[in-house]
Structure 1
Amino acid sequence: MDGINPAQSPADLRLERRIFAASHGRDMTPEERETLERIRPPRTYPVRLAVQSYDGPIAMLPVAQLYVRDVPDLSPPEGKDLLQVLWCPFDHPIMPRTLLFWRSAAAVTDILDTPPEPPAVQFNGYLPEPCVLEPEQITEYPDHLELSEELREQLKQWSVPQAAEEDMDPDTYYDCVLSNAPGWKVGGWPAWNSTDPSPRPCSECGTGMEVLMTVATFEEGDDAGNSWSPHPHPGAGPYPGHRGYNATGVQIGSGYRQHLFVCPAEPEHPHIELMT
C-alpha cells in the first residue's frame, strides 16, 4: 500500500462520490468540505502510512454478473450459464487483477442479501457503481492494425467522403466510427490504442485466445461522434444529464480499457488481461 493511493473504505468512497455529485454546479458546503477532508486528510511529507493488518481472506470486488440468457455470445463451459467477474481491491501494476467464475445459476441457492466487501479499496476507480444490465447487440470489425495493408488503403479511400461530412480525419475514421465500439462489451474485437496486436496463445493448450469481455473507463468516445452512442437514460452517470459516459465509476489506468482474453477451446483455462 503506498502514499499515492492510500486505501479507503468502500463506504467512504461512495460518500465521497455522493458529495461530488450533489455539489456539481455549486460550491461545497462547509460540512461537505469537512467530510472530504476527513476522508482524504491533507498529506504531510515524507508520506508515512500506518497500514492495518487484516486476519483471514479479503473479499474481492464484484465487477460483472452475466447470464447466457441475456448475453448469448458468452460461450460458457458445458453446463454453465453464469459468469461472475471479480477483481482485487488493491492496486496491481497497470490494471486490476481479475478472477473469472463460470457457474450454473441453478446451483446457486444460498444467495446472500448483502455481498461481502473488502475493508478497504486502494483506488476509487476500482469500486464499481451498481448498474442494471441492458444488453444491446451490435456488429463491429477488427482494428485497422489487424487488417492487410491493401484493405487499410481501401478503407481509407472509402472513408474520405464520410469523414469529410463529419469533419474527421479519413485516416482514423474507420477505427473511430466503424471498427471498435467503446464501452463495456462482451466479445467483439480489441482496440489497439496503446500497443500493437500480438499472438495470445493459451498457456495450457496453445489455442489462440479471444476477447471475452472489455471493461472500459468510458461508455462513449469523444472522437466517435454519435456512431456508438448507447441508448440514453435519464440520470445515468454521476452527474445530472451525464448520459452515462462513466456511469460505472470504473477507471482503468488513465482512462483506458481492460480486455479479458479466454481460451475458446476451454474457457476455464487461465485468462489473459490486457490494457489498451
Structure 2
Amino acid sequence: MEELFPELKPLGRNALRLHPRAGNPSYEDSSVGGPLRWPADEPWPWCAEDHYYDDGLEDATRHEAVVPMVPVVQLYAADAPDVPFPQGSDLLQVLWCPFNHGEEPAERCPLPQVHWRNAADVRCVLVTPPAPADALEGHVPIPCVVHPEQVTEYPDRDDIPQEVHNEIDDRLRRFEETAGWSYFYHLSAAPGTKVGGHPHGWNGPTTWLRCERCGQPIHHLLTVACDEFDGESWRTWLPVEDRPDDDSGPEIYLSRSERAEAAHNPPGLMVSGGGSVYLFECRSCPDRPVEHLFYLN
C-alpha cells in the first residue's frame, strides 16, 4: 500500500490481531475469555448498575441483580510488541458485565472495565468466579488461547484526511477496479478482535472522538468483535493456516471449510445482534480513562 500510495504511510498504525482459538488458557496466559491473573487481596469487580436482558428492544427487561464481571481479554506485554503499556505495567485485563447497558436500545452493549497492572505484583491469584447463570447468550466469551499477529493498518476512507483523500481518490478507485480489491474490506483496517491500530467497520469518522475530561483526541485501544472475518474480508485477513488446502474461494465464508468455520468466531460472541464493542483510551490524562462505543456491524 505504501509503495502504491505513499501518502498513506504517515497514517499507518501497528495493530495486534489476537486470533483467538478455542483452548484451555490459564491465568499465566494471554487469552480471550480465560481466567485472569487477579490479585487475591483485591475484590473481584461486580456490576450494580442498571442493565437489561434483551438486545435492542424498547421494552427490555431490567436485570436487577448485582453480577460479577466476566473476563474478556487478558494480554501480557511479552505477547504484545508495540502496544504502549503504561509505565510500570505489563498486563492488560478487560472485563465486562454480561448484560446490556445504555439508554438507547440500538446502543446497548456490555459495560467494560480496563485494568493495567504489573504481573509480578500478583503473587497470590484469586480464582476467577463463574459467569452468571442467566447471562445473555453470546455475551460470555468461550475461553480461547490467542496467537498474536502484528499488522500494519490504514484508516477507513472516512478517517483519511481530506487533503490525502483528494490526492489518492482517483488512483485508489482505479486500483480497486483493476486489481479487484476493496480498500475498505481488504487493504485498510483488519477485522476481528485486536489491540491498537484503526477501528474497522466504523460508521463514519473517528477523528472527532475526544476525551470527556481533557478534550484531547482518544486512541483506539481494543475492538472485541463477533467475527474474525466476513464474506469479503477473508480474502486478505483469513490466515493461510485456516484456509482449506484447495483454497476454495468464496465457499470459505459459506462454512464449506471446517478450518475457516473454526476460525470465524471461536469465543462464540454475539453481542447485541452481532456488533463490535470498541474501547478508546485517553493517553493525555495520567490515569488513561477509557470510553466504549458499540456499533452493529
TM-score, with normalisation over the residues of structure 1?
Answer: 0.69
Partner secondary structure for residue 158 of structure 2? helix
Matching residue of 1:145: 158
Aligned to 2:173: 156
Deviation by residue 1:108-151 (Cα, 9 ceiling, x = unmatched): 11113x41124334311111011111101111100011123413
Which secondary structure state, in structure 1, belongs to the residue aligned with residue 266 of structure 2? coil
Q: Does 1:273 align with 2:292?
A: yes
The 3-state SS of whatever aligns with 1:158 is helix
Deviations 1:70-100 (A, max 9, x none): 1123212210110000000222232111000
1:40 alignment partner in structure 2: none
Offset of residue 226 of structure 1? 2.0
1:104 match: 118
Work out which of the two has the higher radius of gyration on C-alpha atoms and give 1 or 2. Answer: 1
- What CA deviation, in whole Å up to 9, does each residue of 1:53-84 have, x standing for no partner? 75xx6320000000111112321221011000
* Structure 2 counterpart of 1:245, one-letter code: H
CA contact (8 A) 1:143 1:180 kept: yes
Give the secondary structure class of the aligned counterpart of 1:96: strand
Mapped partners of 1:104, 1:138: distance in 2: 26
Q: Distance in 2 between matches of 1:265 and 1:204?
A: 10
Distance across 1 between alignment mates of 2:274 and 2:211: 27
Instruction: State the AA in 2 paired with 1:125.
Output: G
Asked if residue 263 in structure 1 is aligned to residue 278 in structure 2, the reply is no
Change (3 A) 1:67 1:196: same
User: Counterpart of 1:154 in structure 2: which amino acid?
Assistant: R
Which region of structure 1 is more displaced relative to structure 2, 208-217 or 154-163? 154-163
Would the alpha carbon gap of residues 100 and 231 (structure 1) be closer, same or farther in structure 2, given more than 3 Å must change? Answer: farther
Aligned partners of 1:144 and 1:152 also within 8 Å = no
Q: Whose relative contact order is higher, 1 or 2, with alpha carbons under 8 Å and at least 6 apart?
A: 2
CA drift of 1:155 comes to: 1.4
Amino acid at match of 2:293: L
**Which residue of 2 is the match for residue 132 of structure 1?**
145
Mind listing any 5+ residue stretches in structure 1 that lack a counterpart?
1-46
**% same residue:** 36
The equivalences for 1:27-176 within 5 A come to 58-93=67-102, 94-112=108-126, 114-147=127-160, 148=162, 149-150=165-166, 151-163=168-180, 173-176=182-185
2:177 maps to amino acid:
V
User: Which residue does the alignment assign to 2:214?
Assistant: 205
How far apart, in 2, do the equivalents of 1:267 and 1:70 lie? 24
Distance 1:267 1:255, change over 3 A: farther
**Partners of 1:216 and 1:84 in 2: CA distance:** 17
| Residues 204 and 62 of structure 1, relative CA distance in 2, 3 Å threshold | same
Which position in structure 1 is the counterpart of 2:232?
Answer: 223
Structure 1 contact 186–214 (Cα < 8 Å) conserved: yes
Return the offset for 1:267: 6.9
2-structure distance, mates of 1:266, 1:75: 14
- Distance verdict in 2 for CA 1:192–1:228, change over 3 Å: closer
User: Which one-letter code corresponds to 1:191 in the other structure?
Assistant: H
Q: Which has the higher strand share?
A: 2
Alpha carbons of 1:132 and 1:157: their partners in 2 closer, same or farther (altered >3 Å)?
same
1:243 aligns with 2:257: no
Aligned residues: CA RMSD = 2.7
* Structure 1 partner of 2:39: none
How far apart, CA to CA, are the structure 2 residues paired with 1:121 and 1:205?
39
Measured at CA, do residues 269 and 226 of structure 1 come closer, stay the same or move farther in structure 2, by a change above 3 Å? same
Cα displacement string for residues 188-245 of structure 1 (whole angstroms, at most 9, x for unaligned residues): 10124434435111122222101011111001121124200135469xxxx9542310
Deviates more, 1:114-123 or 1:180-189: 114-123
Partner SS state of residue 293, structure 2: strand
CA contact (8 A) 1:81 1:105 kept: yes
Q: Find the aligned partners of 1:233 and 1:225 in 2 and give their Cα distance.
A: 10
Cα pair 1:102 1:268 within 8 Å, conserved: no
AA matched with 1:99: Q
